[in-house]
Structure 1
């Protein structure tokens, strides 16, 4: 078990250089309390390797959120520009997809890791035309929604406000569950003890209705679904409706967690596996130089997890409520990988994040790749 003392706040320099989930210090040692946990390897599986088969778009600026419309187009957010893009899948001719700016989210106040983050398409989009966004403003973080009519984004309407914001660790992933409710990840903004405040929004996974109210059946009769998180940036539901989350660690371990309603995931008391029944232990852990996990997607019995600092895509088999034997692909081939999503055709869309201030961009960055799993 790794114990951490409480801190009122992290100094900005320390957060950027060492404490930030995007670039946490590496560690190759494993605490004794974590010895039983499966850990990631960098091996590949002969005869079953995924391949990058196409490029959807190039020249993007920190693409962050990604979801698909019923007509097959993708909605993509850019963190720093606040642009909302509609991207048509590439044609069989090999030409890239058409990229159209449909609007901007004007409330966005981009700084550090903050900006326009996650997006989720309404499950009833064909009738309500609604898109949901997680946006960092100058005052707080908010969930807002807006209609998309053709190629035009309407004005935004806030449905959940007052989420603490920060230069780092703003969470930001949105995902509609099979129950029709919206799941929202928040970070602890670099102030560890906010994750221990059960009544606050920071360091949590929230579950709300499409109108922003606490969803029926929530464990505490408020918006909170789970708590004690540092900075969850990936959510995925498996084929049986279980919720999985990828989470930044600090000095030692990043995590993949199976989320249970009302459970406490231990931050900052525990990083990685602690074995204390008061806290929900992760399913898998990684040394921070191999992951800094962001996006998460589920397809045909496997989770796919994009790694920022680790610059690789992890494939993780899932058997019921257990995850095991992760395998890494594309190590260093495309730089920092931010978001992975399952497209309507069953392939994966994978975004790079080399223009986010921590990468080493090359010509064409940032880009969206198509992966044949």
Structure 2
């Protein structure tokens, strides 16, 4: 991708900033970003995705989403500190309780969720750090969450850039995307858990085969990882907030350095891994991602649209395409069902940065067809 020199020059001017955010990506100036040749915003092919309806609504600051066996959903509220079960057919909401120890502030709070073998895993902001905990949950009528047990503690916290997405990979390991909390140097410090993608066992130990022995660090040089997903070949993809110039979609490989704060976007510099796709910050502020029908689907906050990035192996097979532009406001989380023909899409208008209307926030049901359908 072009524009490497401009990217580096712009980054060197702003890398030290830590002012309050304009939009979700943070530390951005009011000037318009440069145009992107990598991500045109032309009209989307309406045949590849359609909104089949609203599953549920009136959610408050929804953030994490996990699917239970049988198709029901768990959704976290960042600011209310609660987990709610949502019936996957009727949308009926059943509160499962408040998670103790959560301290919501800024971008922190009760964030990502995952479910595995009777445990609900949660990434949360506590008084002293970000951490991952797990809670027993039987899944039956009337069941409530058990007491949280620590899985991994000591992830740096901040008012901004707390990361928060967690997911189990096809290898059975637990992955987490973290942020550098506005302290840019943490991203390059392999001894810190900030600005990283982490890989661990379900109990929180560094996973076998990690690139740095004895450490959960899987990749580094990240600013604020927000989405994790695996394609049909088991490759890990991650979405990441840029600063003033480029937001990114990265193909993540163990031990790689993804550049922040030395580079933002594609720079072609030795020792740093370039993104597979990048966007001007006004068009993305990417949050959750999912893989379905040969493409990565990426929810955009500031950009208020759903991006589709077609893949062929480890490469893009075409330009990203935007859907739902401005139709539902800020989009936080996207989750593919097991069959891969449906997406759940969570809006994010009640997180203090949106403009909530009647019914916000909601979970939308999207039907995904093959390209050209």
| TM-score normalised to structure 2 length | 0.91
Alignment correspondent of 1:133: 122
Q: Is 1:152 aligned to residue 144 of structure 2? A: yes
Equivalent runs, 1:37-56 vs 2, <5 Å: 39-46=38-45, 48-56=47-55
In structure 2, what is the Cα distance between the partners aligned to 1:8 and 1:251? 9
Using the TM superposition, give the Cα deviation of residue 10 of structure 1 relative to its aligned residue in structure 2, in angstroms.
Answer: 4.7
The 3 A distance-change label for structure 1 pair 278 and 185 is: same
1:173 equivalent among 165, 176, 181: 165
Equivalent runs, 1:179-194 vs 2, <5 Å: 179-194=171-186
| TM-score normalised to structure 1 length | 0.91
Q: Is 1:82 aligned to residue 81 of structure 2? A: yes
Give 3-state SS (helix, strand or coil) of 2:310's partner: strand
Alignment correspondent of 1:274: 267
The 3 A distance-change label for structure 1 pair 8 and 155 is: farther
Using the TM superposition, give the Cα deviation of residue 90 of structure 1 relative to its aligned residue in structure 2, in angstroms.
Answer: 2.8
Alignment correspondent of 2:371: none
Alignment correspondent of 2:21: 16
**1:183-215: CA deviation from partner (whole Å, max 9, x where unpaired):** 011000011111111111000000000010000
In structure 2, what is the Cα distance between the partners aligned to 1:16 and 1:253? 15
In structure 2, what is the Cα distance between the partners aligned to 1:344 and 1:278? 37
Using the TM superposition, give the Cα deviation of residue 159 of structure 1 relative to its aligned residue in structure 2, in angstroms.
Answer: 1.1
The 3 A distance-change label for structure 1 pair 46 and 352 is: closer
**Any unmatched runs of 5+ in structure 2?**
369-373
2:44–2:323: 8 Å Cα contact kept in structure 1? no
Alignment correspondent of 2:56: 57
Give 3-state SS (helix, strand or coil) of 2:351's partner: coil
Give 3-state SS (helix, strand or coil) of 1:226's partner: strand
Using the TM superposition, give the Cα deviation of residue 43 of structure 1 relative to its aligned residue in structure 2, in angstroms.
Answer: 2.1
Equivalent runs, 1:338-349 vs 2, <5 Å: 338-344=332-338, 346-349=341-344
Give 3-state SS (helix, strand or coil) of 1:250's partner: coil
Give 3-state SS (helix, strand or coil) of 1:142's partner: strand
The 3 A distance-change label for structure 1 pair 108 and 75 is: same
The 3 A distance-change label for structure 1 pair 325 and 6 is: closer
In structure 2, what is the Cα distance between the partners aligned to 1:329 and 1:8? 32
Using the TM superposition, give the Cα deviation of residue 279 of structure 1 relative to its aligned residue in structure 2, in angstroms.
Answer: 0.1
Using the TM superposition, give the Cα deviation of residue 47 of structure 1 relative to its aligned residue in structure 2, in angstroms.
Answer: 5.2
- Cα RMSD, aligned residues only: 1.8
Give 3-state SS (helix, strand or coil) of 1:17's partner: coil
Using the TM superposition, give the Cα deviation of residue 51 of structure 1 relative to its aligned residue in structure 2, in angstroms.
Answer: 1.3
Alignment correspondent of 2:72: 73
Using the TM superposition, give the Cα deviation of residue 45 of structure 1 relative to its aligned residue in structure 2, in angstroms.
Answer: 4.0
